[in-house]
């Protein structure tokens, strides 16, 4: 149980285009999902907290107009990188909390999406 | 300001021996600590956690120790196996952020290599 999927697993796009990354909880409902970014050999940096049916909460320094987050259902959150630039190239990971069976602090992570902007 | 620090970027141990991964933190408002294991190009997987009111939690080969006075925790893996080779992240929950959302703050990670 508690499986989180991400799609796509990797994507290459041209500078100036937009890319959408999907995060799904496959066997549980998640009212809260988190989006992280990881640079090579660095920690997971929380970008935003995605709440079903409401606006996402962004961390300081994260541009909300550039990283659009939508959490339209209890099993799906999307991250859209708008007008992508090479500096947006990174590994993006989502996580979700299983309110049904999980603890109130444990998060289940997706496999991540490797974004390369050329 | 790095609130959760893993000062050793890498650790190499022999199969069968003990692996000790360390983590230091600065925020006294952290109430839960977690260890995650991560393989390249994959998301982290949960290993073990500990509440701030405890000083030890054990699960099979994995034991986490918490020293609140020193703001230090460690993960012990005994015996270490080659399959344990991965990046290990220490994470902490800041309950002042929101007890509902459960924001986690991660350390930089320690790459563990277990040699056969």
Confidence of residue A51 (pLDDT cuts 50, 70, 90): confident
Q: Is-contact B60 B38, C-beta < 8 A?
A: no
Residue pLDDT, tens place only, B67-96: 999 999 999 999 999 999 999 999 998 776
Q: Which two tokens mark A118?
A: 């050329």
Higher pLDDT, A72 or A62: A62
Confidence of residue A63 (pLDDT cuts 50, 70, 90): very high
Residue A94 has pLDDT above 60, yes or no: yes
Q: Is B82 on the interface with A (CB under 8 A)?
A: no
For B94-102, the CB contacts below 8 A with 24+ separation are B94/B3, B94/B27, B94/B29, B94/B30, B94/B31, B95/B29, B95/B30, B95/B31, B95/B32, B96/B29, B99/A104, B100/A32, B101/A32, B101/A49, B101/A51, B101/A57, B102/A32, B102/A97, B102/A104, B102/A105, B102/A107
- Please tell me the distance in Å from A94's CA to the nearest CA on chain B: 8
**Dist CA B88 CA B24 (whole Å):** 14
Mean pLDDT of B12-31: 95
By Cβ distance, the residue of B43, B44, B108 closest to A42 is B108
Phi, psi of B19 (to 5 degrees): -110, 130
Q: Which residues of A touch B23 (CB under 8 A)?
A: none
Mean pLDDT of A100-108: 66
Report the pLDDT value the prediction gives residue B100, as an integer from 0 to 100.
55
Q: Is-contact A17 A115, C-beta < 8 A?
A: no
Residue A92 has pLDDT above 80, yes or no: yes
Q: Which residues of A touch B108 (CB under 8 A)?
A: 42-43
Report the pLDDT value the prediction gives residue B107, as an integer from 0 to 100.
93
Q: Which two tokens mark B90?
A: 């220490």
Q: Which two tokens mark B83?
A: 């399959």
- Please tell me the distance in Å from B102's CA to the nearest CA on chain A: 5
Q: Which residue of A has its CA nearest to B32?
A: A105
């Amino acid at each position: 149980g508690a499986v989180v999927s991400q799609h796509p697993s990797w994507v290459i796009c041209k500078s100036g285009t937009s890319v959408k990354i999907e995060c799904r909880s496959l066997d549980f409902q998640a009212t809260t999902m988190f989006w992280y970014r990881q640079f090579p050999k660095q920690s997971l940096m929380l970008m935003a907290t995605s709440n079903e049916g409401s606006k996402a909460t962004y961390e300081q320094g994260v541009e909300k107009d550039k990283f659009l987050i939508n959490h339209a259902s209890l099993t799906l959150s999307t991250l859209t990188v708008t007008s992508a630039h090479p500096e947006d190239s990174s590994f993006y990971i989502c996580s979700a909390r299983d309110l049904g069976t999980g603890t109130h602090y444990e998060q289940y992570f997706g496999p991540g999406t490797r974004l390369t902007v050329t | 300001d790095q609130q959760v620090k893993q000062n050793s970027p890498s650790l190499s141990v022999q199969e069968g021996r003990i692996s000790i991964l360390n983590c230091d933190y600065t925020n006294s408002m952290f109430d839960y600590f977690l260890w995650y294991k991560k393989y390249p190009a994959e998301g982290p997987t949960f290993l073990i956690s500990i509440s701030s009111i405890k000083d030890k939690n054990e699960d099979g080969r994995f034991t986490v120790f918490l020293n609140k006075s020193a703001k230090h925790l460690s993960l012990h893996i005994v015996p270490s196996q080659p399959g344990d080779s991965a990046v290990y992240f220490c994470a902490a929950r800041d309950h002042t952020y929101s007890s509902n959302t459960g924001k986690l703050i991660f350390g930089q990670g320690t790459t563990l290599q277990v040699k056969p």
